[in-house]
Structure 1
Amino acid sequence: MPPILMLDLAAQHAPLRAALDAALQQCLNESAFIQGPAVAKLAQELSEYLGGPHVVPCANGTDALQLALMSLRLPKGSEVLVPAFTYVATLEAAAVLGLTPVPVDVLPTTFGLDPQAVEAAITPRTAAIVAVHLFGQCADLESLRRIASHHGLALIEDNAQSLGATFTSSAGATWVAGTVGEVGTTSFFPSKNLGAMGDGGALFTQDSSRAELLRQLANHGQTRKYHHEHIGLNSRLDTLQAALLRVKLPHLAQWTTARQRIAAQYDAAFAGVEGLMPPARDPRSTHVYHQYTVQVTDTARRDALQQHLAANRVPSVVYYPVPVHQQPAYKYLGYQAGQFPVAERLCHTVLSLPIHPTLAPEQVACVSDAVKSFF
């Protein structure tokens, strides 16, 4: 049996090697390395995959969040509600714009924003909510959209980890993650479910005027060459990355199915294991399993499990070991330990196991056996 990896991009790319090489060669032949034809083609194809929103490619997922907030034209100091359990880029994008990120606690099961906590955090200075679709499934989009609409707030969706996930509303409508709020964002970081071979990102919106503004903001604020209507960023997706992503996009659905099959195998193996909590599912959301994240009782137990797995040559990762409000960079916000108890507890109890489309059933069984032998 080959070694078990958290992510095996070499194995995932191997069947696509001829097509990836051809895409690279075409880019070399065209030599349009910035804003080449592959960028617009990727935007169109990704729009079709997501049900028709406007798609604006950009340089990376963090820029996508920043551009989304820039498009709102918020006054300095405006408050942006963000999950207390998330990757730091969610706060970073607001902070660098002079906005005030306001952490909000999350649900202990699905890790998304707790709608009741969001309601409680709203002040006269609140301008936007950033919902993070973490680890592969949607946050409570229906509640968050209702809250945002009721209070006149913008809803931004950080969909870096859940591309292709859907949410079923109480009325039976199917919403595609990243296309419900004013702007959705994603990342093409290589480890993502649809990953580039370098950095990359994109924004989604149903509003054609906002899409045009986002295109301008991502290209130095230009309305046409050398005419700058806005202060913007240099945040363009390289043609080469777009070309490679076009090769991979048609395979995303089958890769998602493979991830779901692996998750189901883990679920069956872990059923009834006392002290181990498999990922909870919101029945309204599909799950594309960017991560398969379990919970144990406390830090000591979690760390001991991770060491046990390493001794059995099974990798695992803690996403995330420190809550964002306790990161040194964000101490200026003034939050203290204990203010976001769910997020703080999750940082002590979560552990992500290997999951990727090329993980073989016998490898999944090996991981499962190693986990169960600890309990």
Structure 2
Amino acid sequence: MGKIAFLDLKQVNAPYMDSLKSAASAVVESGWYIRGSYVERFEKEFAAYSGYAHGVGVGNGLDALTLMLRASIELGRLAPGDEILVPANTYIATVLAVNAAGLVPVLVEPDEKTFNIDPTKLEAACSPKTRGILAVNLYGRLADMPAIWKFAEARGLLVFEDAAQSHGARFNSSAQSNAGAKSAAIKSAAVAYSFYPTKNLGALGDAGMVVTDDEELARVVRMLGNYGSEKKYVNRYRGVNSRLDEIQAAFLLAKLPHLDAWNERRREIAARYVREVCNPLLRLPEIPADPKEHVWHVFTLRTPDGKTRDALQKYLEARGVGTLIFYPIPPHRQQAYAASPEGDCALLPENPKFPIAESMAETVISIPVSQVLTDDEVSEIIGALNEFVC
């Protein structure tokens, strides 16, 4: 068998080439390329798909995170310098967005079983300046949002979600993020998505969206992404240029109807891995009691230590299996935060130590789980994993 790529985007998009070409042609022929009918349609359809009333397309996932936080400041719900609890095990964009909005990220260790922020550790991370929580649905698994909402409701905190990796994940096999809420008061204020090409629902370039039930918040996010303007040449806020292009919206509209089927195929592959990989050197992720809570953006397992992880990666490469590491350096160990100005970042106390997040960075490795994998390729990967020795 030939090489098995970690993710082959050409293969992912090939079955839909005719519809993608038609979408591109329709946009080009329309003569309207920014903030047009395709963006409007996709905003409505994806917001509804995600269980929210409003969607605002933006340039990318980082902007989606930043603008939903900035909008909350402009509306007086947050203030510059407020502390936001974020997971210690996440892509750095989560932390960058909090800083970019003028807020202070405070890291919270992850749950070892889920890789997501541990709700039992939220209390210890709080201070009088804590005003919100930004949960991340890492690797495609929903964070324990009911527990997070309950904690936030008791403390009067806002809750936001980074759903860049969890397109289509559902609580109780229902709406994406807020179906587990028992009252409107404990829904997430807003959820940020990325449609980077590698995502479960990926554009053919950069794209992002904020979804929310809050019409006023959506309005301010839209203005902030349009130079702070609602009416041309009249600028209420100091905004930025971050808008979803018509052509990317058209591509995403063509792909959205297939997302549930793609996610289901990923679940099938993940279930085979969990069921059939039996190498004692490998610690497999758990499947949630409700499988719909996970869309397996990546399938991440762990090794006993970094040496074993590195050996496994080299071994799989030799066997023709592509792998990636999400993520080799946790945010608090990045050079970008090596010498933060005072007040810039509370996630960096002197000599920061987040042992769980640091252990994950040393021991995680992700294997192919894309919907385009064949059953034979999955079997090949399982066989390679079971034959690994170190």
TM-score in terms of structure 2 length: 0.91
Q: Secondary structure at the match of 2:253?
A: helix
CA distance, structure 2, for counterparts of residue 299 and residue 337 of structure 1? 21
Distance apart, 1:335 and its partner CA: 3.4
Cα pair 2:135 2:159 within 8 Å, conserved: yes
CA distance, structure 1, for counterparts of residue 154 and residue 302 of structure 2? 34
Report the counterpart of residue 234 of structure 2 in structure 1.
227
Report the counterpart of residue 303 of structure 1 in structure 2.
310
Report the counterpart of residue 122 of structure 2 in structure 1.
118
Q: Deviations for 1:162-214, whole angstroms, at most 9, x for unmatched residues?
A: 1111124xxxx945237841010100000000000100000010111211121
Report the counterpart of residue 109 of structure 1 in structure 2.
113
CA distance, structure 1, for counterparts of residue 166 and residue 135 of structure 2? 12
The equivalences for 1:121-132 within 5 A come to 121-132=125-136
Report the counterpart of residue 293 of structure 1 in structure 2.
300
Q: Which amino acid aligns with 1:324?
A: P
The equivalences for 1:18-33 within 5 A come to 18-33=18-33
Distance apart, 1:128 and its partner CA: 1.3
Q: Which amino acid aligns with 1:5?
A: A
Q: Deviations for 1:39-66, whole angstroms, at most 9, x for unmatched residues?
A: 0011111123223431111000000000
Residue segments in structure 2 that go unaligned for 5+ positions in a row:
180-186
CA distance, structure 1, for counterparts of residue 174 and residue 21 of structure 2? 37
The equivalences for 1:264-275 within 5 A come to 264-270=271-277, 272-275=278-281
The equivalences for 1:162-177 within 5 A come to 162-168=166-172, 174-177=174-177
Report the counterpart of residue 13 of structure 1 in structure 2.
13
CA distance, structure 1, for counterparts of residue 196 and residue 52 of structure 2? 23
Q: Secondary structure at the match of 2:273?
A: helix
Q: Which amino acid aligns with 1:183?
A: A
The equivalences for 1:318-357 within 5 A come to 318-331=325-338, 332=340, 333=345, 334-335=348-349, 339-357=353-371
Q: 1:136 aligns with which of 116, 134, 140?
A: 140
Report the counterpart of residue 281 of structure 1 in structure 2.
287
Distance apart, 1:273 and its partner CA: 2.4
Which has the higher mean CA deviation after the structures are superposed, 334-343 or 346-355? 334-343
Residue segments in structure 1 that go unaligned for 5+ positions in a row:
none
The 4+ residue runs of structure 1 with deviation greater than 3 A are: 333-338
CA distance, structure 2, for counterparts of residue 359 and residue 335 of structure 1? 44
Distance apart, 1:337 and its partner CA: 5.7
CA distance, structure 1, for counterparts of residue 322 and residue 350 of structure 2? 32
Q: Deviations for 1:95-144, whole angstroms, at most 9, x for unmatched residues?
A: 12332111110101101111121111111111111000000111010111
Distance apart, 1:22 and its partner CA: 0.7
Q: Secondary structure at the match of 1:57?
A: strand
CA distance, structure 1, for counterparts of residue 159 and residue 303 of structure 2? 32
CA distance, structure 2, for counterparts of residue 113 and residue 281 of structure 1? 17
Report the counterpart of residue 319 of structure 2 in structure 1.
312
CA distance, structure 2, for counterparts of residue 48 and residue 263 of structure 1? 27
Q: Which amino acid aligns with 1:315?
A: G
CA distance, structure 2, for counterparts of residue 138 and residue 89 of structure 1? 18
Distance apart, 1:2 and its partner CA: 4.6
Q: Secondary structure at the match of 1:248?
A: helix
CA distance, structure 2, for counterparts of residue 176 and residue 96 of structure 1? 26
Q: 2:269 aligns with which of 262, 270, 275?
A: 262
Q: Deviations for 1:305-347, whole angstroms, at most 9, x for unmatched residues?
A: 1111011111111101111111111132433566211111111
The equivalences for 1:16-95 within 5 A come to 16-73=16-73, 74-95=78-99
Distance apart, 1:281 and its partner CA: 3.1
Cα pair 1:220 1:233 within 8 Å, conserved: yes
The equivalences for 1:194-213 within 5 A come to 194-213=201-220
Report the counterpart of residue 155 of structure 1 in structure 2.
159
Distance apart, 1:366 and its partner CA: 0.9
Q: Secondary structure at the match of 1:72?
A: helix
Structure-2 change in CA distance of 1:261 and 1:22 (3 Å): same
Q: Secondary structure at the match of 1:71?
A: helix
Distance apart, 1:83 and its partner CA: 0.5
TM-score in terms of structure 1 length: 0.95
Q: Which amino acid aligns with 2:199?
A: K
CA distance, structure 2, for counterparts of residue 248 and residue 364 of structure 1? 24
CA distance, structure 2, for counterparts of residue 178 and residue 215 of structure 1? 22
Coordinate RMSD, CA, aligned: 1.6
CA distance, structure 2, for counterparts of residue 335 and residue 178 of structure 1? 33
CA distance, structure 2, for counterparts of residue 132 and residue 55 of structure 1? 19
Q: Secondary structure at the match of 1:186?
A: strand
Q: Which amino acid aligns with 2:48?
A: E
